[in-house]
């Protein structure tokens, strides 16, 4: 399983700003190793963010996203002490879920 995500969520005016750093190799499937064999594709396909059980972000990614991707987004609402939950699933079926408390 991948390392935990680093998540920061802060109230900014009437919205909440969320910043996420994910730990993932994100292989495109187009590079070759030292022996000339193609490195199989391995990348995050789906990312979701929920707040109070409500989906506030749903994204579909492909192999063009960089290693250890960073994502930032805002949504209306949110209060200090609420939880934001981020989940990703990759093309191998691996899944990671982490949460942060809004500050």
The torsion angle over the Cα atoms of residues 27, 88, 69 and 78, rounded to 10 degrees, is 170
The strand pairing partners of 41, in sequence order, are none
- Which of 4, 3, 8, 5 shows the shortest CA–CA distance to 72? 8
Alpha helices in the chain (DSSP H): none
Residue range 65-85: mean pLDDT, rounded: 97
Mean pLDDT over all residues of the chain? 97
With 0.85 as the threshold, say if the pTM is over it. Answer: yes
Write down all domains in the chain, each with its CATH number in brackets: 6-101 (2.60.40.10)
Alpha carbon distance 92, 4 (integer Å): 18
For position 22, what pLDDT does the model report? 98
Tell me the residue ranges of DSSP E strands in the chain. Answer: 6-12, 15-21, 44-51, 54-60, 70-76, 83-90, 95-101
For position 1, what pLDDT does the model report? 62
Q: Which residue has the tokens 């990759």?
A: 90
pLDDT (tens digit, 9 = 90+) per residue, 1-31? 679 999 999 999 999 999 999 999 999 999 9
**pLDDT-derived band of residue 43, with 50, 70 and 90 as boundaries?**
very high
Q: What are phi and psi of 71, to 5 degrees?
A: -135, 140
């Amino acid at each position: 399983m991948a390392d935990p995500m680093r998540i920061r969520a802060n109230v900014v005016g009437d919205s909440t700003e969320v910043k996420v750093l994910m730990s993932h190799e994100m292989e495109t499937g187009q590079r070759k190793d030292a022996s000339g064999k193609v490195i199989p594709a391995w990348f995050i396909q789906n990312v979701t963010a929920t707040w109070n059980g409500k989906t506030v972000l749903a994204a579909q990614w492909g192999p063009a996203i960089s290693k250890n991707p960073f994502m930032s987004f805002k949504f209306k609402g949110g209060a200090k002490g609420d939880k934001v939950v981020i989940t990703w699933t990759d093309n191998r079926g691996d899944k990671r879920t982490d949460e942060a408390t809004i500050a």
